[in-house]
Amino acid sequence: MFKVLVSDPISDMGIQQLMDAQDISVDKKPGLSEDELVAIIGQYDALLVRSQTRVTERVMEAGKQLKVVGRAGVGVDNIDLEAATQRGIIVINAPDGNTITTCEHTFAMMMAVARHIPQAYLKTVGGVWDRKSFVGVELRNKVLGVLGMGRIGSEVAKRAKAFGMEIMGYDPFLTEERAEKMGIKLSSVEDIVRNADFMTVHTPLTPETRHMIGKAQFEIMKPGMRIVNCARGGIIDEYALVEAVDQGIVAGAAFDVFEVEPPTEDHPFLKHPKIIVTPHLGASTVEAQENVAIDVSEQVLHILRNEPFRNAVNMPPIPADVLNKLQPYFSLGERLGSFIAQLTEGAVEEITVSYSGDVADVDTQPLTRHIVKGILSHHLGSEQVNLVNSMHLAKQRGLNIVTQKSNAAKGFTNLLSVTLRTKKEERLVAGTLLNGYGARIVQIDKFPVDVAPEGNLILVSHNDKPGIIGRVGTLLGSNDVNIATMQVGRKIVGGAAIMVLTVDKGVPKNVLTDFAQLPDINNAKEIILF
């Protein structure tokens, strides 16, 4: 039974499918402090949050069973991604479900600031009929600057056109071609600051976007600018903004988000006549909350059940065409990694992965992850290593990972070969998928073989002399170990050779030592592949 903790208010429409699942139990405990969360997180396999819960390194550390943190929304700046990755905890979000809702809130804020709606409302319900103080401006024929042209920014730009606005857009990933297609002007931050009448930000909060609109930008800003922030507090420097409003540079601002949430009572926005605010409501519609809750719950369910999932934030996504090509090799890759790690002695220094055949045509990094996972699981324990942290752990340990590619696959459609260099030696294993036979190991060091990579294997290195097979059979037989398959490989007659046996059960340690006592046998190693 998997235990899921929901620590923020998340729509029941999504949680329901978790509650309905036979293998899941759900606890809803919104509003926990960090200490309270740390105290209980150890018993949970999954944590579901929105933006309130801070999933800190302490929380991750205490989450000994934690496999996934699901964010019902987009921004993951409340989650310590580095701490999660280090511990192999998958972080996923629900990036699509609240795009339109947040875009619409941005418009609500833009129109509210253009027409002084909150201020006028307050006066009217207070009994004052004041029509003079609230003369607004039209959106039509105004220039809107959009910083961050991702999902939300693009939707904002689309709708702004319906209002007759001219749009300037900035995003490091926005190409001239796409800008033209969208009918917007590709611009720099400075262009926007100098020329726009309205400005709205839709980037994540990163070290790069933090205070991207600050004192320096307000100094060159077109007077009369109106600014909206429905993305993240901190993208616009709050104190520099207040100053710019007071100096008459900024005519009005509408903020849904704050650098610290909730803001303290004395926050300068809260009583400012030209700044309007909402309490981080961008994603708060019935529709968006259902969308993100359903989406994130579905993915959490997949992760807990070890099924394919999407929207991992701390793992690069795999495009469908790449996945189609690589997926059949994932299990083989992991087994080759495990095989070579068990075979090799000494501290690992370098892993070389060679891809030949048409797998080499795509980005093979996802497959390398599986191979590295196989290798590290042997050394660090399979509990510690997974696909999220395998590359990270390798890097942390200073392992050099070399990838080689070639189109010639030595007679196979595709060939994966893994070489492990340790302080003591360098060993190689290669494998492929054979039509109708499945995964096979086809080379060990310099010897060609044909072995299924599964079960209990014994790898014997010996001299190519008559009588060896008989001696090995007798030794195993007298220890009640049944041989299922046997393969012998050599390069030249009478030279060095290897024998790979598949046996029906684990081999006692003393039997392995006995191998080396037999004439012409150098050593024997047991390799277990699950």
Ligand X SMILES: NC(=O)C1=CN([C@@H]2O[C@H](COP(=O)(O)OP(=O)(O)OC[C@H]3O[C@@H](n4cnc5c(N)ncnc54)[C@H](O)[C@@H]3O)[C@@H](O)[C@H]2O)C=CC1
Tokens of 188: 């720099």
Q: In whole angstroms, how close is the CB of 198 to ligand X at the nearest point? A: 17
284 binds ligand HPV (CB under 6 A): yes
Q: Which does 344 bind (CB under 5 to 8 A by kind): ligand HPV, ligand X, none?
A: none
Count Cα neighbours of 513 within 13 Å in the Cβ-side half-sphere. 3
Which ranges of 358-467 does DSSP label H, i.e. alpha helix?
365-380, 390-396
Distance CA 302, CA 56 (A): 24
151 binds ligand X (CB under 6 A): yes
171 binds ligand X (CB under 6 A): yes
**Cis amide linkage into residue 366, ω under 30° from 0:** no
Number of residues that bind ligand X (CB under 6 A): 31
Count Cα neighbours of 500 within 13 Å in the Cβ-side half-sphere. 25
Tokens of 463: 């001299």
Q: Which does 274 bind (CB under 5 to 8 A by kind): ligand X, ligand HPV, none?
A: none
CA neighbor of 6 nearest in space, from 38, 47, 56, 55? 47
Distance CA 389, CA 314 (A): 9
Q: Does 232 participate in catalysis according to the annotation?
A: yes
Residue in 7, 11, 200, 209 binding ligand X, rule: CB under 6 A: 209
Residue in 7, 51, 443, 461 binding ligand HPV, rule: CB under 6 A: 51
User: Which neighbouring-strand residues pair with 432?
Assistant: 440
50, 71, 226, 232: the catalytic one is 232
Residue in 75, 97, 333, 366 binding ligand X, rule: CB under 6 A: 75
Distance CA 436, CA 117 (A): 70
Find the Cα–Cα–Cα–Cα dihedral 284, 285, 290, 295, rounded to 10°: -60
Using the rule CB under 6 A, give the single segment among 111-119, 278-286, 337-345, 358-366 that binds ligand HPV: 278-286
**Which residues ranging from 82 to 101 are in contact with ligand HPV (CB under 6 A)?**
98
Distance CA 196, CA 332 (A): 56
Residue nearest ligand X (C-beta atom): 150
Q: Which does 152 bind (CB under 5 to 8 A by kind): ligand HPV, ligand X, none?
A: ligand X
Largest CA distance in the chain: 109
Using the rule CB under 6 A, give the single segment among 70-78, 125-133, 154-162, 449-457 that binds ligand HPV: 70-78
Angle at 390 between CA 385 and CA 396, to 5 degrees: 105
Please give the DSSP secondary-structure letter assigned to residue 135: -
CA neighbor of 40 nearest in space, from 5, 72, 92? 5
228 binds ligand X (CB under 6 A): no
Tokens of 326: 């690589």
Are β-strands 348-357 and 400-406 bridged in parallel, bridged antiparallel, or unpaired? parallel
Residue in 55, 74, 409, 429 binding ligand HPV, rule: CB under 6 A: 74
Q: In whole angstroms, how close is the CB of 121 to ligand HPV at the nearest point? A: 24
Distance CA 375, CA 505 (A): 23
50 binds ligand HPV (CB under 6 A): yes
Element containing residue 215 per DSSP (H, E): helix 215-219
Q: In whole angstroms, how close is the CB of 238 to ligand HPV at the nearest point? A: 17
Number of residues that bind ligand HPV (CB under 6 A): 11
57, 261, 345, 350: the catalytic one is 261
Q: Which does 50 bind (CB under 5 to 8 A by kind): ligand HPV, ligand X, none?
A: ligand HPV
User: Is 293 or 415 the residue whose CB approaches ligand HPV more closely?
Assistant: 293
Q: In whole angstroms, how close is the CB of 396 to ligand HPV at the nearest point? A: 29
280, 378, 427, 462: the catalytic one is 280
**Which residues ranging from 102 to 121 are in contact with ligand X (CB under 6 A)?**
102
295 binds ligand X (CB under 6 A): no
Sheet holding 90-93, edge to edge: 24-28, 2-6, 46-49, 68-71, 90-93
Q: For 101, phi and psi rounded to 5 degrees?
A: -55, -45
**Is residue 314 classed as helix, strand or coil in its secondary structure?**
coil
283 binds ligand HPV (CB under 6 A): yes
Q: Which does 202 bind (CB under 5 to 8 A by kind): ligand HPV, ligand X, none?
A: ligand X
Q: Which does 172 bind (CB under 5 to 8 A by kind): ligand HPV, ligand X, none?
A: ligand X
11 binds ligand HPV (CB under 6 A): no
CB-CB neighbours of 170 under 10 Å: 25
Using the rule CB under 6 A, give the single segment among 34-42, 68-76, 130-138, 481-489 that binds ligand HPV: 68-76
Show the 3-state SS of 64-95: CCCCEEEECCCCCCCECHHHHHHCCCEEEECC
Q: Does 280 participate in catalysis according to the annotation?
A: yes
CB-CB neighbours of 517 under 10 Å: 8
User: Is 119 or 200 the residue whose CB approaches ligand HPV more closely?
Assistant: 200
Using the rule CB under 6 A, give the single segment among 53-61, 126-134, 275-283, 315-323 that binds ligand X: 275-283
73 binds ligand HPV (CB under 6 A): yes
Positions touching ligand HPV (CB under 6 A) are 50-51, 72-75, 98, 280, 282-284
Positions touching ligand X (CB under 6 A) are 73-75, 95, 98-99, 102, 147-153, 170-173, 202-204, 208-209, 230-232, 256-257, 280, 282-283
Show which residues are catalytic.
Answer: 232, 261, 280
